[in-house]
């Protein structure tokens, strides 16, 4: 698996055409085209490469090139290089049409053939479904019917599917059944942009590339784990989608459970392909779905009211565009999960995520057990914090280890001091969108960082009973936290019940 920023020292991806469905959408202009452009600049796009955008909007190759040229000037994460861009842009094509109409797919098939001939590209095609989830099944069905998913003569056909994969367990299963009528599991790349983040990928190197951590990475030494994914942003212009989703579906079912499984998994036999995915799914399977009374005891949901973020008044969730003014959708969640296996029995995993919180931060805190400090004339319950390891995923990227040290001076006074490692120490600026690694991995056929269906199923099995209880019991106190805070008070009580508090660390500048 790719464990460091792509540098351009890797081999270019396989020669191929990338077809992006949803070419006029936000994801394409903000992330996908800038990511492909970065790959090109790093010499990681193959020589024989072209892109085809597909969308309902009427357009043609020329207009599409003009549009993406305007967009890249705004969204590129590296300096704009006209010559490099020109080479990219002239390999870009467009097909317009309705995704329900077979004629769109016949036109696409013709376009693929024409582009293959022009640039001497073998029949490898990567289809990226940057479309509303309601189209996932339809687009794949139409691709299958048009013969575009057939892998023959050593060529590959791969499909990247954005989240959410299903709305609940039943719909995820139905979608998977639908997709696998037309393509096999080995052709489906379920993308999770969190797994493209440097520090998330670094979890494995950190755990398995250092001999000091793995021996203590278990219930004998670790007291608890916390995963916080906090956003300052509200729902922006995505109220229509979000109001049917909520933070549990939007963040927990995919990103957070995947990060949790990287933290908790057993060492894989190898660092690529199915070995890692096998271990990750075992963790999810060890999290027993909650009974209704456990849902009440171990989860908290919240929704933001109006408040202040960065000195600016922001509206309540229920006043956001396209949100039902009586909405009961949760914009905050906190929960305690137990991984019931030999390594983790009795170690609580606390997770929380929300919109419009006090800071934008994603961090993982590993709390170690207390030492008996009696040796130094202190009582165990004295206020020296036990060792903690913090993995900062964003906005700062790095790792902090809190250790105990003697304060200088006479007598023995103990203080907790941080040992900080910041990614800045590498001195490399990654200039990335977060999609480069994932697109590149798909081009080379490395599925490690993509969700296999069994892990999607296992995640839904964890989340679904919680959503069912919440749906049956409408929240009476929404909105229950002000924008710009750390969520509802009940979230603090949830963790305090287990004798802990939420941590929020900042990496030293």
Beta carbon nearer to ligand BG6, 193 or 388? 193
Q: Does 198 bind ligand BG6 (CB under 6 A)?
A: no
Beta carbon nearer to ligand BG6, 229 or 265? 229
* Positions of E strands within 321-360: 332-338, 348-354
Shortest Cβ 281–ligand BG6 spacing (Å) = 21
Phi first, then psi: give them for residue 501, nearest 5 degrees. Answer: -135, 160
Give the Cα separation of 247 and 253 in Å (integer): 9
Give the Cα separation of 397 and 198 in Å (integer): 8
Beta carbon nearer to ligand BG6, 26 or 47? 26
Residues 6+ apart with CB under 8 A from 140: 129, 149, 159, 178, 179, 182, 183
For ligand BG6, the nearest residue by Cβ is 250
Beta carbon nearer to ligand BG6, 183 or 358? 358
What's the alpha-carbon Rg for the chain, to the nearest Å? 24
Shortest Cβ 462–ligand BG6 spacing (Å) = 18
Residues 6+ apart with CB under 8 A from 503: 226, 228, 365, 388, 390
Catalytic residue of the set 193, 255, 392, 451: 255
Task: Indicate which single residue of 198, 223, 231, 330 sits in contact with ligand BG6 (rule: CB under 6 A).
Answer: 231
Token couple for 163? 């989240």
Beta carbon nearer to ligand BG6, 250 or 320? 250
Shortest Cβ 362–ligand BG6 spacing (Å) = 6
Q: Where are the alpha helices (DSSP H) in 286-427?
A: 292-298
| C-alpha angle 243-249-253 in degrees, rounded to nearest 5 | 170
Residues 6+ apart with CB under 8 A from 206: 213, 391, 399
Q: How many residues bind ligand BG6 (CB under 6 A)?
A: 4
Q: Which of residues 352-411 bind ligand BG6 (CB under 6 A)?
A: 362
Residue 404 annotated as catalytic: no
Beta carbon nearer to ligand BG6, 141 or 231? 231
Shortest Cβ 193–ligand BG6 spacing (Å) = 6
First to last CA, the chain: 30
Shortest Cβ 502–ligand BG6 spacing (Å) = 18
* Positions of E strands within 10-148: 16-21, 49-55, 92-96, 125-129
Task: Indicate which single residue of 250, 396, 397, 457 sits in contact with ligand BG6 (rule: CB under 6 A).
Answer: 250
Closest CA to 277 of 463, 140, 466, 459: 459
Place of tokens 């008070």: 489
Shortest Cβ 250–ligand BG6 spacing (Å) = 5
Task: State the residues that interact with ligand BG6 by CB under 6 A.
Answer: 193, 231, 250, 362
Active site residues: 255
């Amino acid at each position: 698996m790719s464990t460091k920023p792509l540098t351009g020292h890797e081999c270019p991806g396989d020669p191929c055409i990338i077809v992006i469905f949803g070419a006029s959408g936000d994801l394409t202009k903000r992330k996908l085209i800038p990511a492909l452009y970065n790959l090109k600049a790093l010499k990681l796009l193959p020589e024989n490469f072209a892109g085809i955008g597909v969308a309902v909007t009427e357009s043609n190759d020329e207009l599409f090139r003009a549009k993406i040229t305007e967009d890249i000037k705004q969204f590129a994460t590296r300096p704009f290089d006209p010559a490099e861009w020109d080479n990219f842009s002239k390999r870009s094509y467009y097909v317009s049409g309705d995704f329900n109409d077979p004629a769109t797919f016949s036109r696409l098939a013709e376009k693929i053939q024409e582009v293959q001939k022009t640039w001497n590209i073998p029949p490898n095609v990567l289809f990226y479904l940057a479309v509303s989830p309601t189209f996932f099944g339809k687009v794949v069905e139409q691709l299958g019917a048009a013969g575009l998913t057939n892998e023959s003569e050593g060529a590959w056909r791969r499909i990247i599917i954005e989240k959410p994969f299903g709305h609940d367990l039943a719909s995820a299963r139905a979608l998977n059944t639908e997709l696998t009528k037309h393509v096999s599991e080995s052709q489906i790349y379920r993308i999770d942009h969190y797994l493209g983040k440097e520090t998330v990928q670094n979890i494995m190197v950190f755990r398995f590339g250092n001999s000091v951590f793995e021996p203590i990475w278990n219930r004998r030494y670790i007291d608890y784990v916390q995963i916080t994914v906090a956003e300052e942003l509200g729902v922006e212009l995505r109220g229509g989608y979000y109001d049917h989703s909520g933070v549990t579906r939007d963040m927990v079912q995919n990103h957070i459970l995947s990060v949790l499984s990287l933290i908790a998994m057993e060492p894989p036999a190898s660092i690529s392909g199915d070995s890692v995915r096998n271990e990750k799914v075992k963790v999810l399977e060890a999290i027993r779905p909650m009974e209704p009374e456990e849902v009440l005891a171990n989860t908290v949901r919240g929704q933001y009211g109006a408040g202040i973020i960065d000195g600016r008044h922001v509206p309540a969730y229920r006043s956001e565009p396209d949100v039902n003014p009586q909405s009961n959708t949760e914009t905050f969640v906190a929960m305690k999960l137990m991984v019931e296996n030999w390594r983790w029995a009795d170690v609580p995993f606390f997770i929380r995520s929300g919109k419009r919180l006090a800071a934008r931060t994603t961090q993982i805190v590993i709390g170690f057990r207390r030492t008996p400090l009696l040796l130094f004339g202190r009582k165990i319950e004295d206020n020296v914090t036990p060792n903690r390891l913090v993995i900062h995923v964003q906005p700062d990227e790095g790792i902090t280890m809190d250790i105990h040290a003697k304060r200088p001076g006479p007598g023995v006074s103990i203080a907790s001091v941080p040992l900080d490692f910041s990614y800045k120490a590498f001195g490399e600026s990654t200039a990335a969108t977060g999609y480069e690694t994932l697109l590149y991995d798909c081009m080379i056929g490395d599925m490690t960082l993509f969700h296999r269906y069994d892990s999607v199923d296992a995640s839904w099995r964890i989340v679904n009973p919680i959503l069912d209880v919440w749906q049956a019991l409408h929240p009476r106190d929404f909105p229950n936290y002000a924008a710009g805070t750390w969520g509802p008070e009940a979230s603090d009580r949830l963790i305090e019940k287990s004798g802990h508090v939420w941590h929020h660390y900042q990496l030293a500048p």
